[in-house]
Chains A and B, each alone.
Chain A
């Protein structure tokens, strides 16, 4: 066996291609990125090192802060609204009869399987001011004053995009929570049942605490996903009206590819990485991490 597993050449052949690919396209690009963030660079050549100028320009720009605020709003809505809703859906799913559960699972996960372009365009129709679904419902309820031009109004555009984006993954996250719930042994609930605890009480006292692992996994995943939000913004508003609904990544894209300033683009990327690392650190610090074994 040792001969089989200690063979240096074999280890090289098994490990090298994947490590090389990973290094070239994931790790290596970070180095030119840092370098370019200190350059004046139009995308084709380096026009000299400018020190921290790119960073200062980025940080002085109001649009960058607006983009951060927008991204932060999406992260907050995801963490405190979308994820709890998914959790509730999962808890209810556990109580359904099998055929209904299967139907609900299949239909709620479908948006996550469809293309972002289709979903985002569909939400443009839902938000359409004249004949869109949302305003038609509001008018039917007699709430005409609430029928806004959702994607053209600077007050509503960011939450509107966030709802479309979070809706797409609501069912998938519920499914992930539900998978966690299914893994909890039924014996945990028997004692609670004898004590007369109902659905809500046993959910709060037993299910949710035992879901820690899954919750944390989904929290990290959804926060990083929201931080990197680009597609829905690009499709639904292209950052507009004006530059009001940009996210950080959209701002990066705009500076680098529309304004042809790779230096500032790279500076935004580095700042973005720092933000993500801080967030990941905070989650690790404040969300308990105990591996639960059943």
Chain B
């Protein structure tokens, strides 16, 4: 069983290895010798791909979208979650069900009104035009997960802070925020993963070249060179995946924990 599972594990990695292999081959060698090691190693596929494929800009855009979405979602989402778990207000349960509706509304559904709205609000062609919808759609699961986390926290700390004369804002930002760091870190990883790899909204709302994220920019590159030059396609794929793979190798356990956080909560 062990051997079988090792083979299966390798089969998940094989396509990536194959692309790496192809990225060092000439245009014609891909057709004649798709699987063997390159007969002559060609390195200029990478240079050629980078010339036509504006990797630094797309990467920068992807990072702007991900980080922007994380900041807005985690900052406002954690405040709302705290408000749900601790504060007393009349329509709290109603608001909780309201925010849960976000879990069943796929972002694809409202793409047409979203496009019209970003146009009317003057957000078209700006990074904010994607960051705000991303944040709004990321809120539901962020709020619900942090809400569950807050409820498991004992209230004693805040009571002590209250007796010491801290205001609610001081209590929240000085005492609570540092305690919930692990939960916040999980949220950051989750939101980063989802935003960095998001395709549909980016494809429609981020269509202009200067604000394109990697997912869409890479597709445009593939479309522009057609399916003839696989050496360059392979090179572009490796360049695009390298940052993700590095992050994944370094933060493997943290990422796995974040990805499974939602399932445990259920």
Contact A19 B95 (CB under 8 A): yes
Contact B204 A253 (CB under 8 A): yes
Our pick among B99, B137, B204, B233 for the contact of A19 (Cβ within 8 Å) is: B99
- Of B30-38, B43-51, B179-187, the stretch lying at the interface with chain A is B30-38
Asked if A262 CB lies within 8 Å of chain B CBs, one says yes
Docked pose: A203 CA to B197 CA in angstroms: 35
Our pick among B15, B203, B204, B215 for the contact of A115 (Cβ within 8 Å) is: B215
Our pick among A107, A176, A280 for the contact of B104 (Cβ within 8 Å) is: A280
Asked if A96 CB lies within 8 Å of chain B CBs, one says yes
Contact B18 A18 (CB under 8 A): no
Docked pose: A224 CA to B133 CA in angstroms: 19
Instruction: Considering the complex, give the chain A residue whose CB is closest to the CB of B196.
Output: A115
Asked if B252 CB lies within 8 Å of chain A CBs, one says yes
Asked if A109 CB lies within 8 Å of chain B CBs, one says yes
Asked if B63 CB lies within 8 Å of chain A CBs, one says no
Distance in angstroms from B154 CB to nearest chain A CB is: 13
Contact B263 A217 (CB under 8 A): yes
Asked if A10 CB lies within 8 Å of chain B CBs, one says yes
Hey, what's the 0/1 contact readout for B130-158 against A, CB within 8 Å counting as 1? 00110111011001000000000001001
Which B243-265 residues sit within 8 Å CB-CB of chain A?
A: 244-245, 248, 252, 255-256, 259-260, 262-264
Q: Which residues of B contact A21 (CB under 8 A)?
A: 72, 76, 132, 135-136, 139
Contact B139 A136 (CB under 8 A): no
Our pick among B2, B136, B143, B263 for the contact of A180 (Cβ within 8 Å) is: B263
Chain A interface, DSSP helix/strand/loop, else mixed = helix
Docked pose: A176 CA to B34 CA in angstroms: 35
Instruction: From B113, B155, B255, name the one whose CB has the most chain A CB atoms within 10 angstroms.
Output: B113
Docked pose: A179 CA to B200 CA in angstroms: 29
Hey, what's the 0/1 contact readout for B223-247 against A, CB within 8 Å counting as 1? 0000100100100010011001100
Contact A214 B108 (CB under 8 A): no
- Of A124-132, A153-161, A186-194, the stretch lying at the interface with chain B is A124-132
Our pick among B171, B218, B262 for the contact of A117 (Cβ within 8 Å) is: B218
Size of the A side of the interface (Cβ < 8 Å), in residues, is 95
Q: Number of contact residues on B: which range applies?
A: 35 or more
Distance in angstroms from A5 CB to nearest chain B CB is: 5
Asked if A97 CB lies within 8 Å of chain B CBs, one says yes
Q: Which residues of B contact A288 (CB under 8 A)?
A: none
Docked pose: A21 CA to B140 CA in angstroms: 11
Instruction: Considering the complex, give the chain B residue whose CB is closest to the CB of A124.
Output: B227
Instruction: Considering the complex, give the chain A residue whose CB is closest to the CB of B227.
Output: A124
Q: List 20 A-B contacts (CB under 8 A).
A: A14-B79, A14-B83, A15-B79, A18-B79, A21-B72, A25-B117, A26-B139, A32-B117, A95-B1, A97-B2, A104-B8, A110-B12, A114-B197, A117-B215, A117-B219, A122-B16, A133-B15, A230-B200, A252-B111, A262-B116
Binding site for B on A (CB under 8 A): 1-7, 10-11, 13-15, 17-19, 21-22, 24-30, 32-33, 36, 43, 89, 92-93, 95-97, 100, 103-118, 121-126, 130-133, 136, 171-172, 175-176, 179-180, 183, 213-214, 216-218, 224, 227-228, 230-231, 234-235, 249, 252-253, 256-257, 262, 265-266, 269, 272-273, 276-277, 280
